[in-house]
Structure 1
Amino acid sequence: MPDECSAFVPGHITGFFSTHPDDDPTRAGSRGAGLTLTDGVTTTVSPARESSIELDGSRVEIDPVERVLDALSVTARVEAVSSVPIGAGFGVSGAMALGTAYAANQVFDCRLSANELVTVAHGAEVQAGTGLGDVVAQARGGIPIRLEPGGPAHGRLDEIPTRVRVEYHSFGELSTESVLAGDTDRLDEAGRLALSRVVKEPTLTSFMFASRRFAREAGLLTDDVKRAVEAVATAGGQAAMAMLGNTVFALGTGLTDAGYDPSICATHPAGAMIE
């Protein structure tokens, strides 16, 4: 067994979603669509007498990661480095949960399959209330469409078959837990309509239109993001809000053309992987 192992998990921007609770966390989750990114989170796992978690060099408590370690019955030092903003709609907690599962499987010779590891990480994130669909999307990569909620045994995915440059700019954090814990009826209806549009026309143009409309109809659009989306549109580009974060993302050179100084990456061609 190796002394340590690292796994890379792409960041994930959700354009729209609807929630689907279930007493079984492997069946619970969300429908929706998003982009996985070449920017993401690298998580390194090594054996330890007591478990600890670090993110970008700081000691942290991240419930989904702790749940993954408990589910695998291991104690480990988990060290993560993120190239995407924290708490801003990039699926960092899901990336750390999935990266921990992949790396721990190698270090501790757990002998679990990819689907089993995704199920563990997805269930951990759902139970923690920090996300509903990031893990399954991050495991797949590309531009995934989540047609049915849940982990690999129950969920169903499709994909918009293309790759594109992505620009993003974060104005700060939004609490995923507070949104998911509130009344989601308005959000869920907007998410169902958005998914219907993209399933009917699985293109980037349709995805961006559906994402912008979802943010407005769900009542989640912030003033900062609204101004940025309008500026990108004026410059001839397409932009939308990352769910759930005070973050704008655009395709191509949209944010640059609108006068912003964005971070630049691309959609990730594959999902989570051992490094």
Structure 2
Amino acid sequence: MDYRQGTKSSSCERKERGTGRINSINNHRGRETMRKGAVAFSPGHISGFFDPYYDRDPKKSGSRGAGITLSLGVTAKVTVLPAKKQRIDVFINDKPTDAPTTKLAVMQLLKNTPFAVKVQLEQELPLSQGFGMSGAGALSAALATAKVCGLKKTDAVEAAHAAEVTCKTGLGDVVAESFGGIEIRRSPGLPPWGTVEHIPGNYELVLCVTGKKLPTSAILNDPTLLQRIRNAARSCLTELLEKPSVENLFTLSYRFAKDTGLVTKQVDEAIKAASNHGMASMCMLGN
């Protein structure tokens, strides 16, 4: 697997404004200096099953579960210029977009420093289909911003994870994408609270989109469905820890999709057809 590493505030942006870790920029001299830029990559990620967990502290929030980091993902090119007011503009594949999760991640790193930031995301997979693109966009943009600002990678991961949790575009993608490989998330959140284990292996995957988008936020805001998800995920995690293999991950992922009712008839038919040629299941959350 290949693992490289003027905006209107949305509601989720306003909740977390100014909670980043950046100190060096506030003390940075010579804001009249030339523009600065950096490029960073974040892989995408697919979840086989997940058990959501929320805490007042976003760093402790996340999910237990398991999934696979992809070779495809998002490349972010970030350009920073001195300005009188902070402004963050995001483009996905050359088109201007709101991208609240990405904006919030960058905002948390900048805090209230008045910079004009242009974030250009080259996204290799579609949004809202379970490929972890919201998390990858936020993480790649945060990593590039951290490079420009002289911050640590851990600051970028923390900012992207907090943004993902706050905007409810995901719970475990950023953690998994920063970790890489095939992972089991034993406990939720960022280290030291969150713990992740590897399942060894390097596999070829075929990714398919068979239906309409499935926004993660719609699922995470449904209390009844969330309880069904939690119940199904806990037994899956127990069984995967007893027998940690990619084959078992796919088996449990499909069971999770059926038990939660998340799998549609169309997706189920596609899974059964693909199973004649190898292991198959549904990406969480997507069609």
Q: Same fold (TM over 0.5)?
A: yes
Specify whether residues 2 and 161 from structure 1 end up closer, same or farther in structure 2 by C-alpha distance, changes over 3 A only: farther
Match of residue 56, structure 2, among 11, 20, 23: 23
The root-mean-square deviation of aligned C-alpha atoms, in Å, is 1.4
Following superposition, the deviation at residue 100 of structure 1 comes to 1.1
Q: Percent identity?
A: 37
Q: Find the aligned partners of 1:226 and 1:2 in 2 and give their Cα distance.
A: 50
Question: TM-score if structure 2 supplies the norm length?
Answer: 0.82
* Equivalent residue letter for 1:40: G
Task: Tell me the residue number matched to 1:232.
Answer: 274
Following superposition, the deviation at residue 214 of structure 1 comes to 0.3
Task: Tell me the residue number matched to 1:64.
Answer: 101
Following superposition, the deviation at residue 153 of structure 1 comes to 3.0
Task: Tell me the residue number matched to 2:76.
Answer: 43
Task: Tell me the residue number matched to 1:11.
Answer: 44
Q: Find the aligned partners of 2:116 and 2:232 in 1 and give their Cα distance.
A: 42
Unaligned 5+ segments in structure 1 are 247-275
Specify whether residues 2 and 202 from structure 1 end up closer, same or farther in structure 2 by C-alpha distance, changes over 3 A only: farther
Match of residue 158, structure 2, among 115, 119, 124: 119
Task: Tell me the residue number matched to 2:233.
Answer: 191
DSSP-derived class of the 2:60 partner:
coil
* Equivalent residue letter for 2:209: S
Aligned residues of 2:61 and 2:188 also touching (Cα < 8 A): yes
What is the correspondence of 1:40-189 to structure 2 with a 5 Å cutoff?
Answer: 40-48=73-81, 49=83, 50-73=87-110, 75-109=116-150, 111-112=151-152, 114-171=153-210, 172-183=212-223, 184-189=226-231
From the CA coordinates, give the structure whose radius of gyration is larger. Answer: 2
Unaligned 5+ segments in structure 2 are 1-33
Q: Tell me which stretches of 4 or more aligned residues in structure 1 moved more than 3 Å.
A: none
Q: 1:178-222 CA deviation, whole Å, 9 max, x = no partner?
A: 100002111111111111111111101100000000001111001
Following superposition, the deviation at residue 75 of structure 1 comes to 3.8
Q: 1:158-181 CA deviation, whole Å, 9 max, x = no partner?
A: 011111000011123101001000
Aligned pairs, how many?
243
Task: Tell me the residue number matched to 1:260.
Answer: none
Aligned residues of 2:106 and 2:159 also touching (Cα < 8 A): no
DSSP-derived class of the 2:154 partner:
helix
DSSP-derived class of the 1:101 partner:
helix
Compare the two structures and name the one with the higher strand fraction: 1
Following superposition, the deviation at residue 108 of structure 1 comes to 2.2
Which structure ranks higher in relative contact order (CA pairs < 8 Å, sequence separation ≥ 6)?
1
Q: Find the aligned partners of 1:153 and 1:226 in 2 and give their Cα distance.
A: 38
Following superposition, the deviation at residue 224 of structure 1 comes to 1.8
Aligned residues of 1:68 and 1:121 also touching (Cα < 8 A): yes
